[in-house]
């Protein structure tokens, strides 16, 4: 059977733990055919590892989107988009694609960097992306921004934020408590408009977790393309990224990426679920 075609509209992380590199590696691990339309290139200062984001010219993004859409992706994921213009283009590309799976990873900051990439982006994501999102995968910070609730510190806060984001049009929401929520387990909250499900795994080391969010959203996209329900897709994506984090490794004095292949190559991790 032909592989499902999965397109990421995202940035390039030259260190290759996050961004479109994480997406492509994760798509491959899920037996899907990964494709890319590149929106920006992130480079790091070798001395300080400060991130520098260089957007690609919009006409070059348009050419890539035209090509990719003509191939007929079965599912589309977004990652770092960088500007309101690019967010609009991503929405148009999804509308034109005929695909019915749109996974929005609303990347606002890079881990280790606390400056929001561009505040106007939040409004554009709310207006352009959420109404079309099959699944949206904000981390704790991003969920606070999208919901307008600000800082979230508890599962109860996450439930309220998920309900707000659902009202904005996203069909399925998963808020990643993950590294940011103070807790003994790694919790994520799933909401489908009716029930809240708390997903958890053991909490593993968090020094070498670069790319965890991208990997989680890419795995969700691939699982949906392969026919899983949103609930299954997210649960399996969480197991996949938990193994990737457990086996994360030190790249240099600044960063350590997750091991995108760990779930298939090294070990499976169990995910627990309960309705809350």
Ligand X SMILES: Cc1ncc(COP(=O)(O)O)c(C=O)c1O
The answer to whether 223 touches 236, Cβ cutoff 8 Å, is yes
Q: In whole angstroms, how close is the CB of 201 to ligand ADP at the nearest point?
A: 5
Interacting stretch for ligand ADP, rule CB under 6 A, among 36-44, 45-53, 203-211, 260-268?
203-211
Question: Which is closer to ligand ADP, CB of 26 or CB of 97?
Answer: 26
Residue 25 engages ligand X in binding (rule: CB under 6 A): no
- Cα(78)–Cα(144) distance, integer angstroms: 19
Residue 42 engages ligand X in binding (rule: CB under 6 A): yes
Question: Which is closer to ligand ADP, CB of 101 or CB of 189?
Answer: 189
| Residue with tokens 């909490």, as numbered in its chain | 203
Question: Which is closer to ligand ADP, CB of 42 or CB of 186?
Answer: 186
H or E element that contains 274: strand 272-275
Residue 213 engages Mg ion in binding (rule: CB under 5 A): yes
- Cα(145)–Cα(151) distance, integer angstroms: 8
106 binds, among Mg ion, ligand ADP, ligand X, none (CB under 5 to 8 A by kind): none
110 binds, among ligand X, Mg ion, ligand ADP, none (CB under 5 to 8 A by kind): ligand X
The answer to whether 101 touches 225, Cβ cutoff 8 Å, is yes
80 binds, among ligand X, ligand ADP, Mg ion, none (CB under 5 to 8 A by kind): ligand X
Interacting stretch for ligand X, rule CB under 6 A, among 59-67, 85-93, 104-112, 245-253?
104-112
188 binds, among Mg ion, ligand ADP, ligand X, none (CB under 5 to 8 A by kind): ligand ADP
Tally of CB atoms within 10 A around 37: 27
Three-point CA angle 230, 23, 66, nearest 5°:
95
Q: Which residues bind ligand ADP (CB under 6 A)?
A: 111, 139, 176-180, 186, 188, 201, 203-204, 206, 209, 212-213, 216, 238, 241-242, 245
Q: Which residues bind ligand X (CB under 6 A)?
A: 10-13, 18-19, 42, 79-80, 107, 110-111, 210-214
């Amino acid at each position: 059977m032909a592989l499902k075609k999965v397109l990421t509209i995202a940035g390039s992380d030259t260190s290759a733990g996050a961004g479109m590199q994480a997406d492509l590696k994760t798509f491959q691990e899920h037996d899907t055919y990964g494709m890319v339309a590149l929106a920006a290139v992130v480079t790091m200062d070798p001395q300080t590892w400060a991130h520098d984001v260089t957007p690609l010219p919009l006409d070059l993004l348009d050419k890539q989107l035209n090509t990719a859409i003509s191939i007929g992706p079965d599912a589309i994921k977004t990652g770092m988009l960088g500007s309101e213009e690019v967010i609009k283009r991503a929405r148009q590309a999804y509308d034109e694609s005929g695909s019915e799976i749109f996974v929005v990873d609303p990347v606002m900051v890079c881990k280790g960097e606390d400056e929001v990439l561009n505040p106007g982006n939040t409004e554009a994501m709310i207006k352009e992306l959420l109404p079309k999102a099959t699944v949206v995968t904000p981390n704790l910070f991003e969920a606070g921004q999208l919901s307008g609730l600000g800082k979230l510190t508890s599962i109860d806060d996450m439930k309220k934020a998920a309900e707000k984001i659902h009202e904005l049009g996203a069909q399925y929401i998963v808020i990643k408590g993950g590294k940011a929520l103070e807790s003994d387990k790694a919790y994520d909250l799933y909401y489908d408009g009716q029930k809240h499900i708390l997903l958890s795994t053991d909490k593993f080391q968090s020094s070498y977790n670069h790319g965890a969010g991208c990997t989680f959203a890419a795995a969700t996209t691939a699982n949906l393309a392969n026919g899983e329900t949103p609930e299954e897709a997210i649960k399996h994506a969480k197991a996949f990224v938990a193994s990737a984090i457990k086996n994360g490794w030190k790249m240099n004095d600044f960063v350590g990426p997750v091991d995108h292949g760990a779930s298939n190559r090294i070990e499976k991790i169990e995910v627990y679920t309960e309705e809350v």
